Structure 1
Amino acid sequence: MLCVRALVATFFAACLLALMIYPVPVSAAEDKPKPQVLFINVNVFDGKSDKLAEGMSVLVEGNLIKKIAKGDTEVRDDAKVIDGGGRTLMPGLMDAHVHLALVRRPGEILNDYDWMYVGALSNEQAEEMLMRGFTTVRDIGGPTVGLHRAIEEGYVVGPRLFSSGPYITQTSGHGDFRNYNDLHPGIYGQYSLMEMQGWLIMADGAPEVTRAVREALRYGAKQIKMMAGGGVSSPYDPLHTVQGGPEEFSAAVKAAEQWGTYVAVHAYTDEAVRQAVEAGVMCIEHGPFLTEDTMKLMAEKGVFLAPTARISLTSPEDVGLDPNSGTAAKLRQVNEGAANQLKWAKEYGVTLVFSTDQFGAPENFKEQSNEFLTLAEVFEPVEVLRMATSNVAALLDLSGELNPYREGTLGVIEDGAYADIILVEGDPTRDVTILSDYENKIDLIMKDGKIYKNTL
């Protein structure tokens, strides 16, 4: 037995010595240089500046931007050269509030649709979102962790995806989409279908909220979504309600911070927003009933606002709701409250992020790019462009080490940034509404160095 062991040891020692003297050759694939794409004759909006840099060239190598220069730049003989013809080259668009799994209204998903059918429709919407020029989105509630994985593994075409996984709601909160006669899971031990499929976690009190946040993070959430007040689409929570409390928000923030990330909350009323901000929440979703004082507080604490402006300012009739329904009555309240929101946010310097909240039927998702039309009524074009690029990127950076995209920088055109690029016909720094006409005005879409649309 000792002789056998000695022979085995001698054999492995000889193998190790051979590897040291004659290392395994690097494969041809690893030796092969990364592909280069050179954009020439383009005017660059870098995601931050007030003006375009004219007559530029931008070199992409692999999935990153390698060099930005005035005029020409040297490339390899095998580089692909794209003449922008004076078009605007800018970062891919970013949307901070989407629901890619909400391909129909919650009641329809719960009662009428198979989960694989919902998944298939989600795949379709992800691809269409990318083809509107949105190369990165934050999915702010729903079972999209698997969709993120499928996109990253190349099985589905879609934008980069920061998924929040299941949102956290109190009993009777905005995320409590049980049918009226469904029993409470904590009281009767009967979980609803949407809970079992990963749409939501119901939690009451600080200990339950802590556990819910940890469960969402285990599931793969990059940031936490929590409900802090009533909503339009949910049946049993009036808009005036304040959901959760200081102890619950503090518990959520602490649990998220232990993983290096942050909490965003759905909130409409001023009281709900204020208690969330004071507890350390870093992003407010919606907020149509905010007062000037709370806007000032958000600015002081560096809290982001995702206003979902277009849907907040659109009448029930324009979105096809029954004018006599409770949902329509809620939306009219939002219409009235949101009138001053954008004006005050601009006045007090709150950082706004482009956010649409379109969900339901396919025609609703197609409204995504029309958010530019609404924002252009209040803000200068470059302000809107920053909201849809570098501002969203700054918010996503709050995910810390949970951010799955750390090889480069998002939301900007600079050396070392991800090659997420669109070419726009015209100058969006003068007229940002051209981005709403994505089919005709966005001529090229690149994500991670790969071209998905090119009509040049």
Structure 2
Amino acid sequence: MTPKFKHLVAMTAFSAGLAIAGQGLAQEESFPILFSNVHVFNGVDEQRIENANVLVVDNLIAEVSVEPLAVANAQIIDGGGRTLMPGLIDAHVHMAITEPVADLRDNFDWMYWGAVSTIEAEKMLLRGFTTVRDAGGPAIGLQKAIDRGKAIGPRIYASGPVISQTSGHGEHRVYTEPHPNFMGAQPSFFNQHVEFLADGVPEVLRATREALRMGAVQIKVMAGGGVSSSVDPLHTVQGLPEELEASVRAAADWGTYVMVHAYNDDSILRSLEAGVISIEHGQLMTEVSAQAIKDSGAWIVPFYSLLGLDEEVVKKALGPAAAPKFLDVQAGARNQMKLLKEYEIENVAFSTDIIGDPVALTKQNDEFKYRLEAWTSHEILQQATSKSAELLALSGKLNPYTAGPLGVIEQGAYADLLLVEGNPVEDAEILVDYTNNIDLIMKDGVIYKNTLD
């Protein structure tokens, strides 16, 4: 039996009413929690630790043992032979862009954004994602609310506003809207909190430093054409070499790094030459980029959940102009998988990049089944735990979560844990049905879902 729980009233201001037994609840007192009778996937090794016991004290893992553990006053959770694994990490999400971009830009104020993103953050945690890297948007406030116990959701490594050239992928002005940097212009919420338009080295430096001032822990720059923006074809290369290098150097001065949106070879190669170490997406890459990524040791952060989306969903979320570009990117996805495997690129993180549609967000865990076309279940689980955690830790001294490592089950690591039916190390597709197959979700030592008897 579990000790008494109490409702976290302050944490549910925007999302009252909890549907799953045990979710959003925390212990009245800080009792140690002992998981017994579990098989542990530690985030790294292919072989599970059989018949293990894992002790959680406060928000950290205190011990992992195959021997019985006697702990005074511990809450004992019998795993019943289930798999205990690290919480999932999605290395590329947009926590505050959860509805169609045009609606958010034109029809809603910032209070609406905050309310909706808070609700969706809780849903994401209940899909098993205990940590995410936000790849651009007004998520810094959401991160603060979650970290301070005012809202429920995953840990967030926030990038703040994306940095884009004029007419780049971070360009969502209506046609008649003046440039936000022109004298006398009044920047919209979008141009203040979602995306910075910056042209030339001085403006790029200012935008990078402004994002850092606002609380970004890594920087997001647009280096090539994108799907959700209407003014830039996919073939375009964005950011001059000296502009990309300026952002990389300014971020490095703060001890962190730059991640870039890039699909095609020219964008990827220019970014790598500028010192970028995290390439986002890359579905239109060829052997040239694969070799360059391999040689540089950079990270690639692809997403394949797009394979399950159709043209109509994309039109609804991103507008009709996005559909043809989406189909081009979708067509390149399987070739990218082949290249990453052929070139034995190991620095691959797990991401989904689903934006603009709350229904599509419920399909976040589908990413596991699509990756099975190229990787083993064990490799995919590594990507979604320890590998993504390794990437996020490159934020260095700006890392907001330093009490222990993420993405692993070991002594001293954060107690971000999932108790899963079956063996996802052999069949990662188990995690697609998160409602029925993830029985317990713990983040930072607090249980948010528990459907065990």
Task: Normalising by structure 2, report the TM-score.
Answer: 0.91
Task: Answer whether contact 2:94 2:136 (CA < 8 A) is retained.
Answer: yes
SS at match of 1:198: helix
Describe the superposition over 1:311-352 as per-residue Cα deviations: whole angstroms up to 9, x where unpaired: 167442464659993211111111222221011112223211
- Equivalent pair of 1:143/1:197 in contact (CA under 8 Å): no
Query: Secondary structure, in 3 states, of the residue corresponding to 1:174?
Result: coil
- Contact 1:133-1:442 at 8 Å conserved across structures: yes
What is the CA distance between 1:150 and its match in structure 2?
0.3
**What's 1:266 paired with?**
261
Q: Does residue 1:84 correspond to 2:50, yes or no?
A: no
Within 5 A, what are the aligned runs for 1:142-157? Answer: 142-157=137-152
Render the CA deviation track for 1:70-117: whole Å, top value 9, x for unaligned. 0311211x1100000000000000000111110212211111112101
Answer with 176-185 or 323-332: which moved more: 323-332
Correspondence 1:34-433 to 2 at 5 A: 35-76=31-72, 78-311=73-306, 314-317=309-312, 319=314, 325-350=320-345, 351-433=347-429
Q: Is the CA contact 1:313–1:335 (under 8 Å) kept in the aligned structure 2? A: no
CA shift for structure 1 position 376: 1.3
- Structure number with bigger Rg: 1
Question: What SS does structure 2 have at the residue aligned with 1:176?
Answer: coil
More helix by share: 1
Tell me the secondary structure at the aligned position of residue 202 of structure 2.
helix
User: Structure 2: how far apart are the matches of 1:48 and 1:339?
Assistant: 25
> Which secondary structure does the structure 2 equivalent of 1:389 belong to?
helix
Compared CA separation, residues 230 and 194, structure 1 to 2 (3 A): farther
Deviating beyond 6 angstroms after TM superposition, the runs of 4 or more aligned structure 1 residues are none
Percent identity (aligned): 51
Distance 1:211 1:192 in 2: 16
Let me know the Cα RMSD of the aligned residues. Answer: 1.8
Asked if 2 retains the 8 angstrom alpha-carbon contact of 1:315 and 1:331, the reply is no
Partners of 2:56 and 2:237 lie apart in 1 by 49
* Structure 1 unmatched runs, 5+: 1-31
Specify every segment of 5 or more residues in structure 2 that has no aligned partner in the other structure, as ranges: 1-27
Partners of 2:253 and 2:423 in 1: how far apart? Answer: 43
Query: d(CA) in 1 for partners of 2:440 and 2:157?
Result: 23
**Higher RCO (Cα < 8 Å, 6 or more apart):** 2
Question: Which residue does 2:15 correspond to in 1?
Answer: none
The answer (yes or no) to whether the contact 1:194–1:200 under 8 Å persists in 2 is no
Cα gap change, 1:260 to 1:317, in 2 (>3 Å):
same
Partners of 2:188 and 2:80 lie apart in 1 by: 53
1:44–1:323 CA distance, 2 compared to 1 (3 A): closer
Structure 2: how far apart are the matches of 1:63 and 1:344? 40
**1:183: Cα distance to partner?**
0.6
Secondary structure of 1:187's partner?
A: coil
* Contact residue 287 and residue 307 of structure 1 kept, 8 A: yes
Deviation at 1:285, TM superposition (A): 0.9
Q: d(CA) in 2 for partners of 1:355 and 1:92?
A: 14
Amino acid at match of 1:168: I
SS at match of 2:182: helix
* Alignment partner, residue 447 of structure 2: 451
Give yes or no for contact 1:57–1:70 (8 Å, CA) kept in 2.
yes
| Cα distance, 1:278 vs structure 2 | 1.2
Paired residues of 2:314 and 2:326 also in contact (CA < 8 A): no
